[in-house]
Amino acid sequence: MCLGIPGKIVAVSPEEHMAEIETFGIRQRISTLLVGEVAVGEYVMVHTGYAIEKVDVAEALERIRLWEELLAHEGVFDEVPRSGDRPGTD
Amino acid sequence: MREFLTKFRDPEIARALIKDVRHLATRVADRLGRRVVLMEVCGTHTVAISRAGLRSLLGDLLDLRSGPGCPVCVTDYADVDRMVALARLPGVTVGTFGDMVRVPGSDSSLERERAAGADIRIFYSPADAVAWAAAHPERELVFLGVGFETTAPAVALSIKEAGARGLKNFSVYVNHKLVPPALMALLEDPEIKVDGFILPGHVSAIIGRRAYSFLEAFRLPAAITGFETNDILEGIRQILKMMWGKEPRVVNGYTRVVREEGNKIAQREMAAVFRVGDASWRGFGVIPGSGLTLAAPFAAFDAAARFTLPPVVPRVPAGCACGEILKGKLTPKECRLFAVACNPTSPVGPCMVSSEGACAAYYQFERHYGERANHA
Ligand code: SF4
Ligand code: SF4
């Protein structure tokens, strides 16, 4: 029914509570009524023409950092678990 | 956007996550003596999981079940019939989000009514429907308010906007549904065996992680996740970790969008325009407190009260298992009609119609895997 589209704010018209976002090269006008003030350069998640939330870039980068760590330590998981290899009590 | 979004689709990261998920799932499944059953409760997740092939990649360890995640699929036959009846009224234009148009009711669909001359318009945003009504005062515009917590705030704003503009020809057929009461209904059904929930990202952006705290009483692990492959794998990984450690909680794996308390502005707009009421779900029947109705100051915008509709006698098509599929009791391939009498070009039930429907997703991406491949 409705896909969430993430986009970067490229223009704002605060009086109309509207903004323009760019997603992979495509521009779209959206309402900012549900997220309050936005600034050029911020990211938002858009649903049926309304920004429903701001995208927290710092959080996204932190998740990526954790994944890169996982990648770096991949070998740790190579050992095949045996049955009986379980913590706690059943 | 490209800078970081691509990482959420990065195949190298996906490979590492799959390895870790398999490692954890092996241990948990071994302890359970069976596959781990996780349910995704969002149609967009259903499509993403099918498209990425995760069901077949992890299927030996994990049973990834689709639940009542698509608002189009869970719309009751009686409600589709009423939408059709609205479209048949003289002078009425029905406005809707796209997917609703093809959903079969008992004896027609909006698409068929359109072919027969009804005026049915697809709007991308409910705000566009208000603008259309303002430009066409000679027509009655009835907007179909379908969707979960994600679309309800936008519809609430459109109703307020229509009120502020003094529009007399705009109304909404309110059919919104709420996700937490549906999860509760699943948990209370003794026939449904789910070990954990993959929770919808954008519903959660509105209601917040805290809205799922009630799950903790059921000692059921759950993770809110985004929609990229790595988001979903990360959510599954978090659920498995909680299962292994026996520390079930509701974790937020979509922190870039979902906050603990959700979107307060959206919640306030919904609360101003709607009241919580009971709603009828396809496959489930009436779930208490799972729907929305218009609050008294906005009663004039209620299409159900404004128009007199003939009584509807819903008829479910023979053999369609949508009801069972929406509860996760059956998978699409277990429906006798799947890929035989029912396919996206001639769908029998809504789950094959909606782009987020489980049957459509399995048909498009998974029908060649497994036991029913010879029928496809
Ligand atoms: S409305 Fe939101 S939660 Fe529901 S199917 Fe669409 S994206 Fe998923
Ligand atoms: S395959 Fe078709 S008939 Fe069967 S449950 Fe899905 S939509 Fe209904």
> Using the beta-carbon criterion (under 8 Å), do B4 and A77 form an inter-chain contact?
no
What integer best gives the mean pLDDT of chain B? 94
Would strands B285-294 and B274-281 be described as parallel, antiparallel, or unpaired? Answer: antiparallel
pLDDT of B261: 97
Q: What was the ipTM of the complex prediction? A: 0.90
Q: What one-character-per-residue DSSP string does A3-37 give?
A: --EEEEEEEEEGGGTEEEEEETTEEEEEE-TTT--
Give yes or no for residue B371 having a pLDDT over 90: no
Domain-located, residue A89: no
Tens of pLDDT, residues B292-344 = 999 999 999 999 999 999 998 888 888 999 999 999 999 999 999 999 999 99
The backbone torsions φ and ψ at residue B141, rounded to the nearest 5 degrees and listed phi first, read -100, 120
Pairing mode of beta strands A26-31, A5-13? unpaired
Give the per-residue pLDDT at B355: 85
Contact at CB, B257 and A45, closer than 8 angstroms: yes
Residue B352 burial (CB count, 10 A): 30
Asked if A76 has any chain B CB less than 8 Å from its own CB, the reply is no
Q: Could you tell me the CATH number of the domain that includes residue A17?
A: 2.30.30.140
- For residue B165, pLDDT over 70 is answered with yes
* Ordered domains of chain B (ranges, CATH): 1-71+192-252 (3.40.50.11750)
The partner residue sitting opposite B4, judged by closest CB among A2, A45, A61, is A61
Over the stretch B153-163, which tens digit does the pLDDT of each residue have?
999 999 999 99
Among B19, B146, B263, select the one facing A1 at the smallest CB separation. Answer: B146
Q: Tell me the residue range of the domain where A59 lies.
A: 5-73
Residue B229 has pLDDT above 90, yes or no: yes
Place of tokens 């309402």: A31
Total number of domains constituting chain A = 1
Structure token digits, residue B303: 């299409």
Q: What is the pTM of this model?
A: 0.91
Record: contact A52-B202, CB cut-off 8 A: yes
B69 lines ligand 1 (CB under 6 A): yes
Q: Is B2 on the interface with A (CB under 8 A)?
A: yes
In a domain, A54, yes or no: yes
Residue A88 lies in a domain: no
Hey, what are B365's tokens? 């991406």
Residue A83: band (very low, low, confident or very high) from pLDDT cuts 50, 70, 90: very low
Residue A68 inside a domain? The answer is: yes
